């Protein structure tokens, strides 16, 4: 503090000696001012890694999850682009996150991770709104990269990732149906029966009615809320694009001819360019990402491969 006061005194003395008055501060452009405030929140909540630079190309990696999101972001950051990653920033997603924050148990994870994630997503949503209103920053439109994925394989990947938490719940359901001893004898059958029941519920109501599917799951298995939760996870890819892409940017991805025929499409308006890719063809479509962000030598890093699960998961307990 003392050093700062001395520097201030030195500057005033220099102005007095030279006769040069302090230059008046020019009024800043309100649009640029609001962008810089949004940017400050994005930098503060971005997490570890290279800090983004405001004047560079900004790319939003907005994806449903389990589609190589972090691999794409890492490649973009490595080549000097501003790459922000998230799974959902729509108003409905914001409300759901706020509900989890306000009603969740006050744990370290809730405060250290979920709160930061909410602040980051809110800033990203404001960034999207800024581009929609002002069209360009530093002469550039916003770029968005997103991927689709088959709902069945997406759910399989989700279930594997959360297997430790889900297996006891699945075994408890199987135990109610068949008896505890029978359920403990074959956990693989319990998982197969559980997935089949979730599929039956979705077929009975319709994949376009997630709330109806959850209601039927609760009606059939009131003592096992895991069914309603997994119904939503299964249908997440189907409804995600309606909320996060069509709702925010106005693009109907399935209707794009090149996407149907070739597995990729670029959808554009006067303020945003959106690249959509089919996850199942990602390896072959990497050049499309490189061309979209104008980085010819862009290469995606290898995705993390989950280790084979230990034998302790081979029985229901």
pLDDT at 89: 94
Structure tokens at 77: 């950051």
Q: What number is the average pLDDT over the span 101-112?
A: 84
Higher pLDDT among residues 46 and 135, named by residue: 135
pLDDT at 229 exceeding the cut of 70: yes
Q: What angle do CA 144, 150, 152 make, to 5 degrees?
A: 140
pLDDT at 306: 43
Instruction: For residue 187, name the pLDDT band (cuts at 50, 70, 90).
Output: confident
The pLDDT tens digits for 271-313 are 999 999 999 999 999 999 999 999 999 999 875 544 444 434 4
pLDDT at 68: 84
Structure tokens at 120: 């980051």
Mean pLDDT of the chain: 86
The pLDDT tens digits for 124-144 are 999 999 999 999 999 999 999
pLDDT at 217: 96
Q: Where are the domains of the chain?
A: 55-148+251-293, 154-234
| Cα–Cα distance for residue pair 156/191, rounded to 1 Å | 11
Higher pLDDT among residues 79 and 20, named by residue: 79
pLDDT at 7 exceeding the cut of 80: no
pLDDT at 17 exceeding the cut of 90: no
Q: What number is the average pLDDT over the span 60-87?
A: 91
pLDDT at 175 exceeding the cut of 70: yes
Using DSSP bridges, classify how beta strands 58-62 and 142-148 pair: parallel, antiparallel or unpaired.
Answer: parallel
pLDDT at 25 exceeding the cut of 50: no
| Cα–Cα distance for residue pair 243/118, rounded to 1 Å | 17
Structure tokens at 289: 């990402």
pLDDT at 126: 96
- List strands edge to edge, sheet with 82-86: 82-86, 58-62, 142-148, 272-278, 264-268
- What are the DSSP calls for 100-155, one per residue? HHHHS---HHIIIIIHHHHHHHHHHHHHHHHHHHH--BTTB-EEEEEEE--HHHHH
């Amino acid at each position: 503090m003392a050093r700062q006061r001395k520097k201030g005194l030195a500057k005033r003395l220099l102005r007095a000696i030279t006769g040069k008055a302090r230059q008046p501060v020019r009024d800043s452009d309100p649009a640029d001012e609001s962008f810089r405030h949004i940017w400050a929140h994005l930098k503060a909540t971005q997490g570890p890694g290279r800090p983004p630079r405001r004047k560079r190309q900004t790319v939003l990696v907005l994806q449903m999850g389990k589609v190589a999101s972090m691999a794409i972001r890492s490649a973009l950051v490595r080549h000097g682009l501003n790459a922000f990653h998230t799974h959902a920033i729509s108003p409905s997603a914001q409300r759901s996150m706020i509900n989890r924050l306000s009603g969740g148990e006050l744990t370290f994870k809730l405060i250290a991770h979920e709160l930061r994630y909410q602040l980051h997503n809110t800033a990203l949503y404001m960034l999207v709104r800024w581009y929609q209103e002002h069209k360009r920053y530093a002469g550039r439109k916003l770029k968005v990269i997103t991927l689709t994925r088959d709902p069945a394989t997406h759910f399989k990947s989700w279930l594997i990732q959360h297997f430790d938490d889900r297996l006891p719940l699945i075994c408890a359901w199987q135990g109610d149906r068949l008896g505890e001893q029978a359920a403990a004898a074959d956990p693989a059958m319990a998982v197969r029966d559980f997935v089949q029941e979730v599929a039956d519920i979705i077929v009975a109501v319709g994949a376009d009615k997630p709330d109806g599917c959850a209601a039927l799951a609760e009606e059939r298995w009131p003592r096992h809320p895991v069914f309603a939760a997994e119904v939503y996870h299964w249908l997440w890819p189907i409804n995600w694009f309606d909320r996060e892409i069509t709702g925010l940017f106005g693009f109907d991805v399935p209707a794009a001819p090149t996407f149907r025929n070739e597995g990729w499409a670029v959808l554009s308006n006067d303020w945003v360019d959106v690249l959509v890719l089919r996850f199942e063809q990602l390896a072959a479509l990497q050049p499309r990402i490189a061309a979209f962000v104008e980085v010819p030598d862009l290469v995606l890093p290898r995705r993390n491969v989950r280790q084979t699960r230990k034998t302790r998961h081979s029985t229901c307990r």
